[in-house]
Amino acid sequence: MTKKTNAFGELGERIAARWLESQGYTVLARRWRSGHRDVDVIAARDGVVVFVEVKTRAALEFGDPVEAVDVRKQRSLVRSAREWLAKHDSTRVDGYRFDVIGILLRDRRVFVRHVPDAWRVG
């Protein structure tokens, strides 16, 4: 990943975190890392911890950013979430879920698409 690509993704993560806060969420972590594990944004609202994958795009030529979260990425995020929960006081957590936020930066405008509970852990 180039520096430019990384900076673009980080911009999307900052936008997503601010958007979540504007919706009443508390951001617990951004760019959380543990070894090879990572979560873009971890937030909470009403006792529910939300693990968020953020996808940022400048155009739709490769599809909607939300659609870029495939099954492999979902599995990776589930493993990362379990590790985060194991390292934190999860006794105060009423539940958790996985959301996806797609950010489209186009013509100096920002479009946010939030998909709550994007998939279930079975």
Cβ distance 74 to 83 under 8 Å? no
CATH number for the domain that contains residue 92: 3.40.1350.10
pLDDT for 68: 84
Angle CA 50–61–15, to nearest 5: 35
- Mean pLDDT across the stretch 110-116? 95
Statement: residue 63 has pLDDT above 80: no
Total domains in the chain come to: 1
Give 89 or 84, the one with higher predicted confidence: 84
CB atoms within 10 A of CB 112: 17
CB atoms within 10 A of CB 8: 16
Q: What is d(CA 51, CA 40) in angstroms, rounded to the nearest whole number?
A: 8
Statement: residue 104 has pLDDT above 90: yes
**pLDDT tens per residue, range 10-55:** 999 999 999 999 999 999 999 999 888 899 999 999 999 999 999 9
DSSP letter (8 states) at residue 69? -
Question: Phi-psi category of 117—alpha, beta or left, where left has phi over 0 and alpha has psi -120 to 50?
Answer: left
Domain with 114, as residue range(s), is 3-119
CB atoms within 10 A of CB 98: 21
pTM of the model: 0.91
* Residue 35 dihedral angles phi and psi, to the nearest 5°: 65, -125
